[in-house]
């Protein structure tokens, strides 16, 4: 009798860790499903290069939520300012510096230091 009680006790001790392992495997599947659901929120990042007194590309197609990075590869300082509504106005960008804006709308913009020659546009897709 004592033997059979001891065997039963050992079986219960083995059973609990196995149940514990199975119960742990299900939350992992849930978190994998959550990761696929966030893909819709991914936006792209575009770079506008400033060089030879020009924005390149001069017309950039974007979506709301995209990030635009202006990179000054020129020899002198420049700025990035929208014409209307003050949607954005960068700091003065020394050579080698960048400035970033997250797109909220389409915008025509220019360089306040060279307004006669440096003009460009951000155009929303589907417009
Ligand atoms: Cu400029």
Strand partners, 98: 71
Q: Ligand 1: distance of its center to the CA of 127 in Å?
A: 28
Residue 22 is predicted with a pLDDT of 47
pLDDT digits 0-9 by tens, 83-127: 987 899 999 999 999 999 999 999 999 999 999 999 999 999 975
Q: Which residues contact 35 (CB under 8 A, 6 or more apart)?
A: none
Q: How far is the CA of 61 from the centre of ligand 1 (A)?
A: 21
Q: For residue range 20-66, list pLDDT tens digits in order.
A: 444 444 444 444 444 444 455 689 999 999 999 999 999 999 999 99
C-beta neighbour count of 79 within 10 angstroms: 21
- Give the count of beta carbons closer than 10 Å to the beta carbon of residue 124: 15
**Res. 81: pLDDT tops 60:** yes
Centroid of ligand 1 to alpha carbon of 70 (angstroms): 12
Give residue 45 CA to ligand 1 midpoint distance, Å. 22
CB atoms within 10 A of CB 6: 10
Q: What is the 120 CA–ligand 1 centroid distance (Å)?
A: 12
51 Cα–ligand 1 center, Å: 9
* Nearest to 92, CA basis, from 79, 106, 110: 79
What is the phi/psi pair of residue 103, to 5°? -65, 125
Higher pLDDT, 33 or 69: 69
CA of 47 to the centre of ligand 1 (A): 16
pTM over 0.75? The answer is: no
Cα separation, 57 vs 1, in Å, equals 87
């Amino acid at each position: 009798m004592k033997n059979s009680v001891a065997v039963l006790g050992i079986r219960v001790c083995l059973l609990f860790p196995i149940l514990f392992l199975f119960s742990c495997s299900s939350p992992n599947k849930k978190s994998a499903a959550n990761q696929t659901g966030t893909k819709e929120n991914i936006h792209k990042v575009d770079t506008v290069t400033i060089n030879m007194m020009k924005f390149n590309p001069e017309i950039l197609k974007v979506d709301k939520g995209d990030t635009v990075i202006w990179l000054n590869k020129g020899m002198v300082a420049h700025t990035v300012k929208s014409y209307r509504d003050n949607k954005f106005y960068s700091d003065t960008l020394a050579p080698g510096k960048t400035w970033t804006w997250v797109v909220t709308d389409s915008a025509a913009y220019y360089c306040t230091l060279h307004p006669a020659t440096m003009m460009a546009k951000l155009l929303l897709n589907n417009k």
